[in-house]
Structure 1
C-alpha cells in the first residue's frame, strides 16, 4: 500500500499574518488605544500615521506621556475596573514584571517574536521589546576628539563647558538617572559637585537637551539621546558604560480591544516596520534587521548591558535613595510635564 501523500504548508508570511489580524480587529469594532512613553506631544505621530495608512479601518488612539505618569494611569484604571489602555509601551521596565506577576497581562507573542533577541522579550510571552533605547552624551561635534570614543565625562568639567551644558533633570527620568548612577559609580559623588559648578541649564524632557545641543546654544548633555543635528551628535565613550535597554510593550488581559492591540503590537514588531521606522534612528529588537548607519550591532559594545537598566528599575528602594541624593545636587524638578504641557490628558486619555 502506498504511503499517503504528505502536505507541507508554507508558514504564513508576516504580511499575511497582519492581514488576518486586521480582519479580526475590524470584526472587533476597529479600535485600539495605546499608551506610549515619551516626553513631547506628538513624539510618536509618525508611527501613528504609518499605522493608520496601512489599516484605515482601525481607529488608533496613541497617547504619549512620561512613562511614570502612564503607569499610574494604568494602575488606577485597573483598580477602578475602567481600563482604557489596550496596550502600553513604556520605559518603566519594572511595571511589566509586576503586571505579569499580578496577572494583568495577556500572554501574546507578536508577529516575528521568534526573531526578537532574547534580552528584549519575556520568555513566557507576556511582554516584548519594540526598540532599544540608548542614552549617553550628546556633544557639539567641534568639541570631540579625533576619535569620538575617547570622549569622557570628566571632559565636561573643562572651562569650555562652563554655562554651556543643558541637562535633563536626572531625578525626573529613571533612564537618565541610571546614566548618572553609572557616572557616580565610576567617578564618585564629587563628580556631580563639580558638574553643578559648571552652572548647567536644567530642563525636563530628553528632546529639549538634544535640541539645545543641535541649535548650538549648548555644547553638551549627559545621559540623553535624540537627533542633535546639525551641530551635535550622540557619543558612546569607549571608557565608560552607557545605558541601553529594550523598551517593553504588552497587551492587558482585560483590554477592551484585544484584537486591535494584537494588530498594533505585531505591526510594530514586523520586519518591515522595524526596518523602516525603527532602524532609521536606533537599534531594532529583531536579529534580522541591521543597525542604523554608523552604529555597530548593540551586542558588540562591551560597555553596555541591555538588561542592566531593568535590574536597576526593579529595586525601587535603591532607585529612590539614589534619586533623593541626586536631588541634593540638582534641586527639585521645576517645569511642566513635557509630555503634557497643557495638563489636559487626565486619568483616562485615549478613551473611545
Structure 2
C-alpha cells in the first residue's frame, strides 16, 4: 500500500518531525547565565564520554540492536534511526514501527516462546511496562541523564524511562481558530460550520485517543458524543491522517490527537479543558540478545544533546534541563493536564474495555488496515538479525 503525500505529512506533524526545527531553537527561549551554559556544556561532554564507553561495549557485543517503537505509519521514526546511525555508523539498528498494541503482543509471544527478538521497546501501552517489571522481564537500567528526567516520567526503581512526552488535544485549522486559541472548547465542534468537516481517529482503536474521549465524557456527558456523531465526522485509523486532514484544510478539526504545536499550528491546548499528556516509556528486556546495544540506544535517546535537538521529542522533553519548544509553556505549568493520569487509566484494563465498548456504540467498529503495518508483513518477529 502506498501512502499519499498528505498522509506522509500527517505522520511528520504527528510525531515531532515537523516540531524538530522548532525545538532545536527552543533553548534560546530561556535566558541562561554564562555559568549555566558552561555547566550544560560540561554535562553534555560527560554524557558523550559515557556514550562512547557504551558504544565500545556495544561494538564488542556485535554492534546490533533491535527496538520496537510504537507508531502509526511505516517509516515514522526513520529520522530517529538515521540520527543514531549517523553518530554510530558501525552500529546496525533495526527500528521497527507499528501500533503499540501489536508490538506488545509480539513481545509477549517472543517471551513465551523463548525467542526474544526485541532488545528494547518504546511504547504507548504503559500498563505493559508495569506488568513486565512485575514479571521480572525488564532489565534494571538507568540510562545516561536518568537523574535529570522528571520523576513522573520514569520508574523509581529504574526499570523503564520515558523518552518524550506525548500530548493529545484538539486540532483546529488555523484559519478557524478563535482570537485566543486557549479559549477553544469541545462544544465549539458542535456548531453548524463543523458539520461534515471533522476528521476523527477511531477512539476505540487507540487507547491514548480513547482517554481523551474519557476526559470529554467526564466534562460533557455521553450526550456530547451523540451530538458529535451527528456532525457526520470522517473516521479513520491512525493519528497522522487526522493531523494531515486538518493541516491541509480539507477538514476543520479533530479531537484527542497530536499535531503541529508550533505557534499558529493546528494543535490547541485549551485553558480550561483537560488534555492528555504522558511520558512514552522505554525499557530494555532482561533477556535482550543485544543488551549492550540496547543500553547505548536508550542512553543516546535520553542524552541531553539528543533531547535538545528534538530528535527524540514530540512536544516536551522528559529532561528537566531542556527547555520546552517555542510557543509552549513548561508542561508543569499546564494545570489542566496530569502526565500520570493516562497510566492510571491504562492500568485498569476492565474499565478501559468497558469504556471502549460504549464509545463504539457511537462511532461503530474500527474499519481499515493497520496503519502501522498496512500490508500485514511484519509478522511475529520483525527486526531479527
Q: Could you state the TM-score of these two structures normalised by the residue count of structure 2? A: 0.87
Q: Give distance in 1, aligned partners of 2:107 and 2:211.
A: 24
Residue 290 and residue 231 in structure 1: after superposition, are their counterparts in 2 closer, same or farther (change >3 A)?
A: closer
User: Residue 263 of structure 2 contacts residue 326 of structure 2 at CA under 8 Å; is this kept in 1?
Assistant: no
Q: Give distance in 2, aligned partners of 1:119 and 1:315.
A: 19
1:116 lines up with 2:149 in the alignment? yes
Superposed, 1:58-207 pairs within 5 Å as: 58-207=91-240
More helix by share: 2
User: Following TM superposition, by how much is the alpha carbon of 1:228 offset from its aligned partner in structure 2, in angstroms?
Assistant: 8.0
1:169-220 CA distance string (max 9 Å, x none) = 0000000000000000010000000000000000000010000001110000
Q: Say which structure, 1 or 2, has more relative contact order (CA 8 Å, 6+ apart).
A: 2
Runs of at least 5 residues in structure 1 that lack an aligned partner in the other structure: 1-9
User: Following TM superposition, by how much is the alpha carbon of 1:143 offset from its aligned partner in structure 2, in angstroms?
Assistant: 1.3
1:264 lines up with 2:297 in the alignment? yes
Please state whether the residue corresponding to 2:371 is helix, strand or coil: coil
Please state whether the residue corresponding to 1:82 is helix, strand or coil: coil
Please state whether the residue corresponding to 2:308 is helix, strand or coil: helix
Residue 335 and residue 324 in structure 1: after superposition, are their counterparts in 2 closer, same or farther (change >3 A)?
A: same
Please state whether the residue corresponding to 2:310 is helix, strand or coil: helix
Runs of at least 5 residues in structure 2 that lack an aligned partner in the other structure: 1-41
User: Residue 301 of structure 2 contacts residue 312 of structure 2 at CA under 8 Å; is this kept in 1?
Assistant: no
Residue 228 and residue 41 in structure 1: after superposition, are their counterparts in 2 closer, same or farther (change >3 A)?
A: farther
1:115-169 CA distance string (max 9 Å, x none) = 0000000000000000000000010112111111000000000000000000000
Q: How many residues align?
A: 343
User: Residue 119 of structure 2 contacts residue 289 of structure 2 at CA under 8 Å; is this kept in 1?
Assistant: yes
Q: Give distance in 2, aligned partners of 1:175 and 1:203.
A: 15
- Paired residue for 1:315, among 344, 348, 351? 348
User: Residue 217 of structure 2 contacts residue 225 of structure 2 at CA under 8 Å; is this kept in 1?
Assistant: yes
Residue 202 and residue 139 in structure 1: after superposition, are their counterparts in 2 closer, same or farther (change >3 A)?
A: same
Q: Give distance in 2, aligned partners of 1:181 and 1:123.
A: 28
Give the corresponding residue for 2:14: none
User: Following TM superposition, by how much is the alpha carbon of 1:278 offset from its aligned partner in structure 2, in angstroms?
Assistant: 4.4
Give the corresponding residue for 1:215: 248
1:277 lines up with 2:303 in the alignment? no
Q: Could you state the TM-score of these two structures normalised by the residue count of structure 1? A: 0.95
Q: Give distance in 1, aligned partners of 2:261 and 2:127.
A: 30
- Paired residue for 1:243, among 256, 276, 282? 276
Please state whether the residue corresponding to 1:167 is helix, strand or coil: strand
User: Following TM superposition, by how much is the alpha carbon of 1:101 offset from its aligned partner in structure 2, in angstroms?
Assistant: 0.1
User: Following TM superposition, by how much is the alpha carbon of 1:81 offset from its aligned partner in structure 2, in angstroms?
Assistant: 0.2
Q: Give distance in 2, aligned partners of 1:345 and 1:48.
A: 18
